[in-house]
Amino acid sequence: MGRSIRVKPCGRCSQTAAILYRVKYEEDGNWVFVCRECWDMVSLDNPFYVYGGTWKAKKK
């Protein structure tokens, strides 16, 4: 039996992705899942950036 492909929307741009990064990027921000493109933008030179793990569509 095949597994269905899981995707989630990016918490910043709403684009769906199979791999998302759990981050905080605002001073009093909540944890959000962001796509690779948004992750590049929010992590660059951001003193409030905190990485919290990676969500992947394919589980081991």
Q: What pLDDT score was predicted for residue 3?
A: 63
Sign of CA dihedral 11, 34, 16, 57: negative
Residue 12 lies in a domain: yes
Is the pLDDT assigned to residue 6 strictly greater than 90? no
DSSP characters over 12-57: TT--EESEEEEEE-STTPPPEEE-HHHHHHHHTT-TT-EEEEEEES
> What range defines the domain where residue 23 resides?
8-56
Mean pLDDT of the residues in the chain: 92
57 — pLDDT class (breaks 50, 70, 90): confident
In a domain? residue 3: no
The token pair at 5 is 């492909």
Q: Report yes or no on 1 lying in a domain.
A: no
6 vs 10, which has greater pLDDT?
A: 10
Report the number of distinct structural domains present in the chain: 1
